[in-house]
Structures are given as structure tokens and as C-alpha cells.
């Protein structure tokens, strides 16, 4: 900042012809202008201005430096003018980290509309079932559910999801419908292959909650494969309503053990690093996402 003031004091002094005139025109004192010029000359190690009794003049070095100084100030003003458009201009690369199933079922359906609305924006998705704080590595937005680790990040709640135990009509016809959660131990079940609350199949009986220790015949790191196997009639799954809502509405998957449903739901969050200094590309995506979730809620009435 002091370098900028030194440049301006130098330019003002030349344009107004004296320290006094430059000071009056810019609400400063002549001594303040003189000190700024002296600091500039000391920093450069060269005399720029010849001080005269009535009017100053530039040295040869001063004339050469004046052109460069004006170019610097002009470039700074141009940069400031461009920055004024930032709050309304949506462009660049938006990097999003989220769960594969959420991206496929809750973002992909409306993503073409979003990209058409913001043609100067490029969207880069990084898909992983497990949340990690990657904001220092360039991630702009993360979308995850459950209990998030304590941090300085901003988490805005999108909604709540329920985990539904279900199977295909083909499976239920072949293996029968379990009438109690404990009977799941004799059924072909599928779950995730990493440590997660998603593998806790919670139920309620007589106002008491309990977990059935499921033994999976197959496990995967992504819910997409669990859903696909269930649709093929290969087993019972427990997946989020935002993932399998359409399958249930169309009868491809059938909820089971609904009388033992747990009241526990999982909040879904959109996470970002800073609320105040939020770029337009982040803000527009979050607003678009919230609007689409509101227009197309994923909750299922069982």
C-alpha cells in the first residue's frame, strides 16, 4: 500500500507542478507528499525530482520512471474495474466432492440445465463415498450426510434422508419376506465394505432400538453396485431414500420390515469453506441445488 501511495505522490507532484499543489488537490500536507517522494527515491536509489524554488522538474531517470509508474497505476485501475464484475460473473472451474449415488440421482438429472444457464462455468466432480476435508486442495463444495467432523467449514443443511431396508419383488418371491429384523440373519444381505454407520441396520421394537449384525454375502465401496445387485434379485439392501426413491416409487424395490422402522434420519449437508468470501460460481451452484431439492424432495412416504 505504501508503494502505491509513493507512486501516486510522484505522479501527482509532476502533474500539479509542486508538492504544495499536489497536496492541496489530494487532501494531504506538502510534507506528507515530500516524505512519500523521498521514500520512493530512497527505495529506488535514484533522484527522480529536482526540487526548485517555485516549480519542480523531473530528472532524466524521473522521466523514464514516470511512464512506468503510470502504466502500473493504469494496470491496477483496470484490475479493479474487472473485479467489480466478479459478484455477477459466473465462470471458471467449480470443483465438487460428493457421494457417487448423490451425484447420480440428485445432481445429474438437472446438471444439463445448470450448465446451459452458466455456459462459462466448468464443473469438475470428485466422487467418493467418504467425506474428507479437501478444501485446501482446491475443492469448492462438498455434499455429504451424517455426523460431520468439527471444523471451521460452513455446513448448510439440504434435508434429511432415511435409510430404507428393501429388496426386489423377484428376491422376495424366491426367498420370502422376513417378518422380523432378526430373520435378516438367514437372508442374503448386501452392504458397504468400509466402516460406516450405513452398515448399522437399526430397527425399533416396543419403543426400543436395536441393531441387527448383518452378515453380507457381498459388499462394495459404492452404493450403486449394492442397488444393482438388489434390482437383480440377489439380496436385501439398506440404502438412502435419495438413492432408491425412484426404484421404490416404480415398484422395482419393495420396502420391508416397515413396522420396525427406526425414526433416525441422516442430515445431508452442502459444505464450503467461507460464507463471507464466497465466489459467484459457488453461490450459484448452492442456490440451484437448494432450489432443485425443494422442487423434487427425495423423501418417501411408506
More confident residue, 101 or 87: 101
Q: Are residues 253 and 178 located together in one domain of the fold?
A: yes
- Domain span at residue 125 reads 88-160+266-295
The angle formed by the CA atoms of residues 106, 122 and 294, to the nearest 5 degrees, is 25
Q: Are residues 156 and 271 located together in one domain of the fold?
A: yes
Return the residue matching grid coordinates 532524466: 60
- Residue 84: what pLDDT? 47
pLDDT surpasses 80 at 105: yes
Q: Are residues 167 and 256 located together in one domain of the fold?
A: yes
Given pLDDT bands bounded at 50, 70 and 90, which one contains residue 132?
confident
Handedness of CA 72, 78, 84, 87 (dihedral sign): negative
Distance (Å, whole) CA 214 – CA 233: 18
Q: What is the mean pLDDT of residues 123-136?
A: 86
- Residue 277: what pLDDT? 55
**How confident is the model over 167-197, as pLDDT tens digits?**
999 999 999 999 999 999 999 999 998 888 8
pLDDT surpasses 60 at 28: yes
pLDDT surpasses 80 at 278: no
Does 62 fall in a domain? Answer: yes
Rounding to the nearest 10 degrees, give the CA dihedral for residues 259, 262, 263, 269: -130
Q: Are residues 149 and 232 located together in one domain of the fold?
A: no
3-state secondary structure of 11: helix
Q: Are residues 118 and 180 located together in one domain of the fold?
A: no
Q: Are residues 197 and 271 located together in one domain of the fold?
A: no
Q: Are residues 128 and 252 located together in one domain of the fold?
A: no
Does 33 fall in a domain? Answer: yes
Rounding to the nearest 10 degrees, give the CA dihedral for residues 112, 113, 114, 117: 120
Does 240 fall in a domain? Answer: yes
The total of structural domains in the chain comes to: 3
More confident residue, 64 or 134: 64
Average pLDDT, the chain: 87
Question: Which parts of the chain are beta strand (E)?
Answer: 49-50, 57-58, 92-98, 121-127, 141-145, 154-161, 163-167, 189-192, 201-205, 208-212, 216-220, 237-240, 254-255, 266-272
Could you tell me what percent of the chain has a pLDDT over 70? 92
Sheet of 141-145, strand order = 121-127, 92-98, 141-145, 266-272, 154-161
Least confident of 19-23, 138-142, 235-239, 276-280: 276-280
Q: Are residues 174 and 254 located together in one domain of the fold?
A: yes
Alpha helices by DSSP H, listed for 45-190, are 60-83, 100-102, 111-117, 169-175
**How confident is the model over 191-204, as pLDDT tens digits?**
998 888 888 899 99
Write the CA distances from 146 to 68, 157, 160, integer angstroms.
57, 11, 9
Query: Which of 40, 58, 84 finishes a domain?
Result: 84
Q: Are residues 107 and 185 located together in one domain of the fold?
A: no
pLDDT surpasses 70 at 79: no
Given pLDDT bands bounded at 50, 70 and 90, which one contains residue 5?
confident
Q: Are residues 195 and 224 located together in one domain of the fold?
A: yes
Q: Are residues 103 and 145 located together in one domain of the fold?
A: yes
Query: Which of 40, 63, 84 finishes a domain?
Result: 84
pLDDT surpasses 80 at 75: no
**How confident is the model over 202-258, as pLDDT tens digits?**
999 998 999 999 999 999 988 999 999 999 999 999 999 999 999 999 999 999 999
DSSP 94-112: EEEEE-HHHIIIIITTTHH
More confident residue, 83 or 62: 62
Q: Are residues 139 and 277 located together in one domain of the fold?
A: yes
Cβ-based neighbour number of residue 129 at 10 Å:
19
Does 301 fall in a domain? Answer: no
Could you tell me what percent of the chain has a pLDDT over 90? 47
Cβ-based neighbour number of residue 151 at 10 Å:
11
Does 302 fall in a domain? Answer: no
Q: 150: Cβ–Cβ under 8 A, 6 or more apart, which residues?
A: none
CATH of the domain at 134: 3.40.190.10
> Helices 2-16 & 30-44, crossing angle to 10 degrees?
110
Amino acid at each position: 500500500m505504501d508503494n502505491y501511495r509513493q507512486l501516486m505522490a510522484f505522479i501527482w507532484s509532476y502533474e500539479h507542478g509542486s508538492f504544495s499543489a499536489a497536496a492541496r488537490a489530494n487532501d494531504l500536507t506538502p510534507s506528507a507528499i515530500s516524505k512519500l517522494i523521498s521514500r520512493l527515491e530512497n527505495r529506488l536509489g535514484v533522484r527522480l525530482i529536482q526540487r526548485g524554488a517555485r516549480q519542480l522538474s523531473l530528472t532524466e531517470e524521473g522521466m523514464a520512471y514516470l511512464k512506468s509508474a503510470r502504466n502500473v497505476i493504469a494496470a491496477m485501475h483496470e484490475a479493479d474495474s474487472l473485479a467489480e464484475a466478479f459478484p455477477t460473473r459466473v465462470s471458471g472451474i467449480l470443483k465438487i466432492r460428493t457421494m457417487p449415488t448423490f451425484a447420480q440421482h440428485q445432481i445429474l438429472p438437472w446438471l444439463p440445465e445448470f450448465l446451459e444457464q452458466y455456459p462459462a462455468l466448468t464443473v469438475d466432480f470428485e466422487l467418493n463415498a467418504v467425506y474428507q476435508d479437501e478444501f485446501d486442495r482446491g475443492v469448492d463444495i462438498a455434499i455429504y450426510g451424517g455426523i460431520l467432523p468439527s471444523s471451521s467449514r460452513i455446513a448448510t443443511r439440504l434435508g434429511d434422508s432415511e435409510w430404507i431396508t428393501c429388496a426386489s419383488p423377484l428376491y422376495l418371491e424366491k426367498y420370502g419376506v422376513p417378518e422380523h429384523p432378526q430373520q435378516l440373519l438367514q437372508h442374503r444381505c448386501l452392504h458397504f465394505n468400509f466402516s460406516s454407520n450405513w452398515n448399522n441396520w437399526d430397527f425399533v421394537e416396543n419403543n426400543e432400538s436395536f441393531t441387527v449384525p448383518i452378515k453380507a454375502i457381498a459388499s462394495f465401496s459404492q452404493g450403486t453396485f449394492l442397488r444393482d445387485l438388489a434390482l437383480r434379485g440377489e439380496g436385501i439392501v439398506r440404502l438412502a431414500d435419495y438413492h432408491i426413491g425412484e426404484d421404490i416409487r416404480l415398484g422395482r424395490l419393495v420396502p420391508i420390515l416397515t413396522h420396525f422402522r427406526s425414526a433416525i434420519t441422516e442430515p445431508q449437508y452442502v459444505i464450503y469453506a467461507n460464507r463471507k468470501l464466497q465466489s459467484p460460481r459457488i453461490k450459484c451452484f448452492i442456490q440451484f441445488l437448494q432450489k432443485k431439492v425443494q422442487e423434487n424432495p427425495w423423501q418417501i412416504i411408506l
